[in-house]
Amino acid sequence: MERKTKIDAEKGTQELFITREFALPVDLLFKAYEDAEIVEQWMGTKVVKLENKRQGGYIFETIDPKGNKHIFSGSIHEFVPNQKITRTFEMENTPFGIQLEFLEFEPITEDTCRLKMHVVYRSVAIRDQVLQLPFAQGINMAHNRIQDILRQLK
């Protein structure tokens, strides 16, 4: 499968860059960020609040398979349709604190576009922990699978 999403995370820095090209016109990509119903679909989350404006903000909520509620929220600082969103992001009740996100939307052709996300964390250690988060969840899931298999063997 084609690898379209690129992560640049230089060692020893507290930032990272996520770059992705889409086979979509730039206004459709932007709409996927702007429209609460569409955000719910691709982020797999419930949108409690999405106020797209300078000094606006957002609250997303997800329920994990164990029934625990997770809240993701932030403030919106810049909102320029089809061009950029600057916002903070926080996973509430985690030790990772608040991160700053610069999202830039740019057309490549009429039907293709690029998203650049520049994410800044409070420290190098926090960035590295967030990068490893899906890995940690992965070992967690692997373990749960093993438990399920063992349970069936009993």
Binding region for another protein (CB under 8 A): 3-7, 9, 11, 18, 20, 22-25, 28-29, 31-32, 38, 41-44, 115, 124-125, 128-140, 142-143, 146
Nearest to 32 by CA among 45, 40, 60: 40
| Burial class, 115, CB count within 10 angstroms (exposed 0-12 / middle 13-18 / buried 19+) | buried
Considering beta carbons, is residue 55 or 124 the nearer one to another protein?
124
Considering beta carbons, is residue 55 or 132 the nearer one to another protein?
132
Q: Which residues pair with 89 in a beta bridge?
A: 99
Q: How far is the CB of 139 from another protein (least distance, A)?
A: 5
Q: How far is the CB of 55 from another protein (least distance, A)?
A: 26
Cβ atoms of 23 and 111 closer than 8 Å:
yes
Amino acid at 108: I
Q: How far is the CB of 153 from another protein (least distance, A)?
A: 14
Considering beta carbons, is residue 63 or 131 the nearer one to another protein?
131
Considering beta carbons, is residue 76 or 115 the nearer one to another protein?
115
| Burial class, 52, CB count within 10 angstroms (exposed 0-12 / middle 13-18 / buried 19+) | middle
Q: How far is the CB of 127 from another protein (least distance, A)?
A: 9
Considering beta carbons, is residue 54 or 89 the nearer one to another protein?
89
Q: How far is the CB of 128 from another protein (least distance, A)?
A: 4
The answer for residues whose C-beta is within 8 angstroms of residue 97's C-beta and 6 or more apart is 90, 121, 122, 126
